[in-house]
Amino acid sequence: MGLPNVQPEHYDAQLRDKLDWVKTEFAEFNLPQIEVFESEREHYRLRAEFRVWHDGDDLYYVMFDGDKHTPVRIDSCPMVSERIHQMMFKLLDVIRPNEILRRRLFQIDFLSTLSGELTVSLLYHRPIGEEWAEEARKLRGMFDIDIIGRARKTKILLDRDFVIETLNINGKEFQIKQVENSFSQPNGKVCEQMIQWGLDATKEAGGDLVEYYCGAGTFTLPLAQNFRRVVATELAKVSVHAAKDNIALNGIDNVDVVRISAEDFSQVLQGKLQTRRVNGLALEECDFTTVLVDPPRAGLDDDTVQQVLQYDNILYISCNPETLKSNLQAICQSHQVERFALFDQFPYTHHMECGVFLTRKPS
């Protein structure tokens, strides 16, 4: 994603344009009134990645816009969280004259939280070792941050490679461990709204929940209060470990996380595949009334679409309206849209996050 042109005075008009686009694109589904959840106008993004540009003695951040080849210098970045913005340029001021920290540094990644925790990753096109770590420790103390050094086949931690996010969901706090270099929702305030919307949509569902693409459990854990039991799946090993840590961190006892792809788990539930990864889960005892899917931009594959049709209730979180529309054309043969939400995760860009809650049509 290129650097958004952050102009708060244009925010309302841009959000109306997004809403109008959704109404037009999804007109065939006879949507109920679309629920719209706004973003903060500035300092809304909790994670960001910036290329670092070397120009003689100068060193500065760039992002690529338009043709993806032309670097745009960044001396201010109102889209990132206040915690990131307060220190990112000061950090570069310290690195610039330090040959050990500067040499062949090509990217800096930031991961922050609503409560102000911050992890910074420095990426290099050269080997790094103890000499680098000694200098990087000074940065850690100076800015009160955790630092990660990355180079080919090397990862140095000073001291953690994660943050603990605190999400306030309807007055209840959930602690979510988020690991650097793995997926997390970038807009924390909108994420809270998404979870609260999902909780409200499924409050009468009852029974058990199956979830595909659970990540670190950001949706899983709060939604567990609406169900007797939750079985969640995720393929990324780091995210599975984080999800299990988060289950323990929040003292939740009705969630199981399985490291398996959505496609394979669909096959398991259909009785077409056996795997020891589900041993001990007693899936035959589950009454899965509801499925939650939060797929990547490619949407749901055909087999998974057929699997989600087996459930009375479908909660679909989408980061790509185009693949959502395609999936809904299949899903709405048997289900109807009860609620539809537009979450403005990415202000000042064309990107949109949508939420759909569907129920089975009366037979």
Residues marked active site are found at 319, 353
How many Å apart are CA 140 and CA 144, to the nearest integer?
Answer: 5
Pairing mode of beta strands 146-151, 154-158: antiparallel
How many Å apart are CA 100 and CA 73, to the nearest integer?
Answer: 23
**Peptide bond between residue 12 and the one before it cis (omega within 30 degrees of 0):** no
**Closest-CA residue to 21 (of 357, 358, 354):** 354
Residue type, position 52, single letter: V
- State phi, psi for 150 to the nearest 5 degrees: -125, 135
**Closest-CA residue to 322 (of 304, 361, 295):** 295
Residues 6+ apart with CB under 8 A from 159: 140, 146
How many Å apart are CA 120 and CA 274, to the nearest integer?
Answer: 42
Place of tokens 């780091």: 238
DSSP 203: T
Token pair in block for residue 236 = 């990324």
Is the distance from CB of 347 to CB of 12 less than 8 angstroms? Answer: no
DSSP 213: S
